[in-house]
Chain A
Amino acid sequence: MWPDKVGGAMVVKNMPGGGSLVATNFVYQAKPDGLTVGTANLGSGVISPVIMGDAGAKYDLKKMNWIGAYLSGGSLVVTLSTAKPYKTVKDLQAAKGLKFASRSPTAASTTYAALFFEVFGIDAKIVTGYQGGADMALAAKRGEVDGTVMPASGLPVYIDAGGLQKPVMNMDFARSEYFPDTPSLAESAKLTPQQESLLRLQNATGASDKAVFAPPGIAEDRVKLMRDAFDKIIGDKGFKTLNEKYFPIWTRPMSGAELTEYIDKTLAIPKSELDAMSALSKKYLAVK
């Protein structure tokens, strides 16, 4: 829809690699003429590498021109294997030596799982190295692991496939619109101030929101043109229909100015909180 709103053609180039790092670096270093825009996962792809100090992130979030974003309404949920006898949080608290599947030690599913274990005093370890949601669901179905943490939006497919149960916990302050019967973490337990800030931090860095951005140094009128085009697209009726039908997880559009403010707030998170998050994940890893 970009060419319809701005005029001219748009060439789309898929740039895989480094979980969006290759594409984000490319856009940041592109000529600042307003002819290059990028889109990537905001939390895990663009923000997280910077605040985690990844040397591969060769861009400055404060200098990037933010055009807009689409935030996902879905949070991450704790879900259990159908091959195991556990059905509730109480069952998990009574069990010993549980195993939960995750992608890597820094993945959102690891941090959320660690926070879940910590809050409810569950004796479990996180097994990392799975390739993604499908791989983790298969491991659960085979009974290789007892559960996992994954986006609420992606879970229904695996529930239908018979590997995972309806979630026992929504890892957020409020309930998920996908599973309104599942309690949220905040309503199920009294969180300590540190646990609360960890949940807030994880929500900011781990969510799979999509952002649109352009290189620094572009003339202001061109940035305005791009931001206006983005706003027009997300306001378009045809776009809304397509989006609701095929990508129902993108529910909250954000303007360029709002996104810039959101980035600034996230960058202001103190390092001590980041270190606490990383220490908590480490505590529950099967291999440290």
Chain B
Amino acid sequence: MFEAMVQALGNIASPTIWVWVSVGLIAGLLLGILPGISSLTGLTLFLPFVFRLEPMQALPLMVSMASVGYTAGSITAVLLGIPGEPANAATILDGFPMTQKGEGSRALGAAITASLMGGAVPVFLALAMVWAVMPIIMAVTSMDMVVVIAAGLVVIGVVAKGAMLKGVISGGIGLLISSIGLAPMTGVPRFTFDMPYLYDGLHLSPVAMGLFAVPPMIELALEGGESTLARSGAAAVKGMAGAWEGARDVFRHWWLWARSSFIGYLFGLMPGVGANSAVWVTYGIAKQSSKHPETFGTGNVEGVIAPESANNAKESGALLTTLALGIPGSAGGAIFLAAFIMLGFRPGPSMLTEQLDLSLTILILVALANIIAGAICFPVAPYLASIARVPGRILVPVVFVLIFVAAYASSGQMADIVVLLIFSAVGVAAKRHGYNIPALFLGYILGELFEQYLFLGLQLGGPLFFIRPIPLVIIFLVALFFAYRPLKGAIGSRFGRARTA
């Protein structure tokens, strides 16, 4: 291990690596900030060029490009309510209201700091826990995954708090929407109307754009041409001081950051679960455990810290799974897998033994790329936050163009625009009638995974497939999670009464 670490540090010290890291960072930041075009698109486009490069040229570029996409994606999520990458969707819920209140730079400061630390620190956790990775991945079977995903669905109940019935209905509609396409187990087409476009289900990008980005823009347009700042009545946009305040928020909520990063990392380790689930689970836990859950959705900085820590932290976990098992933990991981094979490496357990130096080099690059990306984004955050001063009559058309381009860019089909329009209408109607958009989105993204693993669980273990140690522990933890507050309240009031008496 020591020798491998020395070798890895030697690799990092080479100046040429930094040229490739810089190119990857700039490309990753630009692609991440453009909604709809994710760093995944960049990786895919770059793949054909891998042939022509040496491993220590291609890998630094790809690793840095993949590592910083979520950091950049949080910028548009906070400032415009548009998720730069689908895994930034949860950041909108509190990040965008903060911008509307003139606290955009604070939200960005928090998002960038949480991303930077969420991306960098778990790498060291990964390095320290290389030996534990394989047993963890091997222990969790498809039967256990059903309960992991179900625990994610329970978050619907958390985000729906306050208007539970409408929240649960919204989540249910999301689940129904997730069933569009070929059934994962039987291959039977459902709600596809013989249209091959629908065979793979609805594309994530137009659905996310329609639900999250369009409704606030329509609201802004309907309420006249004022800027968001003028509408909210906030005094002014906070400058650099705001960004530092956001950074301090992360340290103030260090436990929230650490917990969310750890959950993100664990989700990354599990092949097939992905960042999209991790951000919502951490958001739900943040809300449930917050001292002020009622302020979530109106601009609580905790709602920014949790998902932004998780989505960056997930990458080091996913990368480790790809290296150790040759099994990609995410779509980005799949591209990496292809690149590794093209470069002549055979991902597998040997990456954690004979080729440990290469794995360590990659993990250290992830940490450094996150730190540099944070250092680049942080100083410009206050300037970007001034977008809240831009009058709606200018902002709305520009953002609408971005939304349409982003929805179309995901797969280049006109049907994506139709889906965008339909989900924009759904988003506006849901907002107007008090239905819960995050619950709907959560049902939509987790529904397919839940169904896939549920059927696998039933086929493998029968109806009582969850009577196993891991599922039972998770069920117990979820029950504890919900019972914690009422129990604490009950015990507190009892002891309080006892003391008064």
Contact = CB atoms under 8 A, between A and B. Distances in A.
B195 A56 contact: yes
Interface residues of A, number: 43
Contacts of B271: 134-135, 138
Given A134-B328, A135-B271, A104 B187 contact: yes
Contacts of A255: none
A139 interface: yes
A128 B186 contact: yes
A157 B348 contact: yes
Given A106-B187, A142-B141, A157-B348, A129 B459 contact: yes
Given A16-B200, A135-B272, 11 more contacts: A17-B413, A22-B196, A56-B189, A127-B460, A129-B184, A142-B141, A160-B326, A160-B348, A162-B349, A246-B51, A287-B458
Contacts of A16: 200, 411
30 contacts: A15-B412, A15-B413, A17-B196, A17-B197, A18-B197, A18-B199, A21-B196, A22-B413, A55-B194, A56-B196, A125-B459, A127-B456, A127-B460, A128-B186, A128-B455, A128-B459, A129-B185, A131-B272, A134-B326, A135-B271, A138-B137, A141-B325, A142-B141, A144-B141, A157-B341, A157-B346, A160-B346, A161-B348, A163-B325, A287-B455
B138 A144 contact: no
B452 A129 contact: yes
B150 interface: no
Contact of B326 (A19, A106, A144, A161): A161
B286 to A, nearest CB: 30
A162 B337 CA distance: 16
A22 B197 contact: yes
- Which of A13, A58, A107, A286 has the largest number of chain B CB atoms within 10 A? A286
Interface string A82-117: 000000000000000001000011110000000000
B347 interface: yes
Contacts of A163: 325
Interface of A: 13-19, 21-22, 25, 55-56, 58, 99, 104-107, 125, 127-131, 134-135, 137-139, 141-142, 144-145, 157-158, 160-163, 242, 246, 286-287
Contacts of B11: none
A135 B195 CA distance: 27
Interface string B327-339: 1100000000100
Interface string B248-285: 00000000000000000000000110000000000000
Contacts of A56: 189, 192, 194-196, 199
Contacts of B272: 131, 135
Contacts of B199: 17-19, 21-22, 56
A99 B460 contact: yes
Interface in B144-197: 182, 184-187, 189, 192, 194-197
B342 interface: yes
Nearest to B333: A134
B186 A161 contact: no
Contacts of A125: 459
Contacts of A138: 137, 271, 325, 327
A162 B348 contact: yes
- Which of B143, B341, B456, B458 has the largest number of chain A CB atoms within 10 A? B456
B460 A161 contact: no
Given A55-B194, A130-B456, A246-B51, A105 B187 contact: yes
B326 A157 contact: yes
Interface in B456-472: 456, 458-460
B186 A105 contact: yes
Nearest to B184: A129
B342 A158 contact: no
B142 interface: yes
B350 interface: yes
A161 B326 CA distance: 6
A104 B459 contact: no
A145 B187 CA distance: 20
- Which of A160, A161, A242 has the largest number of chain B CB atoms within 10 A? A161
A131 B192 CA distance: 20
Contacts of A128: 185-186, 455, 459
Contacts of A129: 184-185, 452, 455-456, 459
Contacts of B456: 127, 129-130
A104 B188 CA distance: 10
A160 B350 CA distance: 8
Contact of A18 (B138, B196, B342, B452): B196
A128 to B, nearest CB: 5
B217 to A, nearest CB: 28
A71 to B, nearest CB: 22
A16 B331 CA distance: 14
A107 B452 CA distance: 16
Contacts of A14: 412
B142 A144 contact: yes
Contacts of B196: 17-18, 21-22, 25, 56, 58
Contacts of A246: 51, 342
Contacts of A104: 182, 184-187
Nearest to A128: B185
Contacts of A145: 460
In the A-B complex, list the 10 residue pairs whose CB atoms are closest, starting with the nearest. A18-B196, A18-B199, A161-B348, A21-B196, A104-B187, A129-B185, A161-B326, A286-B459, A55-B194, A56-B196
Contacts of A139: 141-142
A25 B196 CA distance: 9
Given A157-B347, A246-B51, A127 B189 contact: no
